[in-house]
Amino acid sequence: MKYNRCGNSGLLLPAISLGLWHNFGGIDVYENGRNMVRRAFDLGITHFDLANNYGPPYGSAEETFGRILKSDLKSYRDEMIITSKAGYDMWPGPYGEWGSRKYLIASCDQSLKRMGLEYVDIFYSHRPDPNTPLEETMMALDQIVRSGKALYAGISSYNPEQSQQAINILKDLGTPCLVHQPSYSMFNRWVEDGLLDVLEKNGVGSV
C-alpha cells in the first residue's frame, strides 16, 4: 500500500480507504462486512471512514464496525485511522442534525460508544450549517479534540469560501484543520473550481 502525507501534518493516509456508508448496516449480512474489513486491513488499508448516520439504519454501521474491532482488530487499534462525522439527520427533534455544539459533541460521544472506542482519529463536521455561526461549529470540533475524543479535526462538503473561513477559525483556536472530505468523481468535479487551491494554500489534506 502507498501512504500519502495528509496536508501539512505528520499523518500518513493510505491511497485507498474503506468507507462504511453502505453494506455494513443492520440490514446487511454481518459476516460480509467483517470479511471486507479484515481483507482491507490485510491489504494495508488502515483508514476506515464512518459517520453517525451510516447504515441503514442510522448508527448501525458504527455498531457493526465496533463488533469487528472487538472480535478481530482490537490489538491493532494503533495501526488504524478511524474517522467519523456528524452533520446530517441522525435523530428526531431540534438537536439531531446540522452544526450546533450540542449536536456535534453528543454525536461524537454516541459514535464512540457504538464503536467501543476512547477516541476517533479524525472527527468531521459533515456539512456546513446555514443557521449556526461557523465559529460555534468549529469551537465544537476544537473542544472534541482538546477533550481527547478525536486526534484531528476535519470538514466535509464545505465550499471554498466556507473552507477558508473554517480553516482560519480552527487555526486561531489552536486546532488546525487537518483534512477536507469532499464528494468527487469524474462526473462531479466541483472541487476543481477553487476548493483544491484553498486546501493546497493552507496545507490542508483532501480525501
User: Mind giving me the DSSP string for 160-178?
Assistant: HHHHHHHHHHHHHHT--EE
- Residue 40, all three cell numbers: 482491507
Taking residue 92's Cβ as centre, other Cβ atoms within 10 Å add up to: 8
Cell of 161: 469560501
Grid cell of 135 as nine digits: 465559529
Element (DSSP H or E) covering residue 4 = strand 3-5
| Short-list 109, 122, 101, 100, CA closest to 177 | 122
* Positive or negative: CA dihedral 128, 131, 137, 139: positive
Q: Which of 3, 30, 54, 76 is catalytic?
A: 54
Q: How far apart are CA 139 and CA 101, in angstroms?
A: 7
Would residue 54 show up in a list of annotated catalytic residues for this protein? Answer: yes
- Cα–Cα nearest to 44, from 6, 70, 76: 76
- What are the catalytic residues? 54
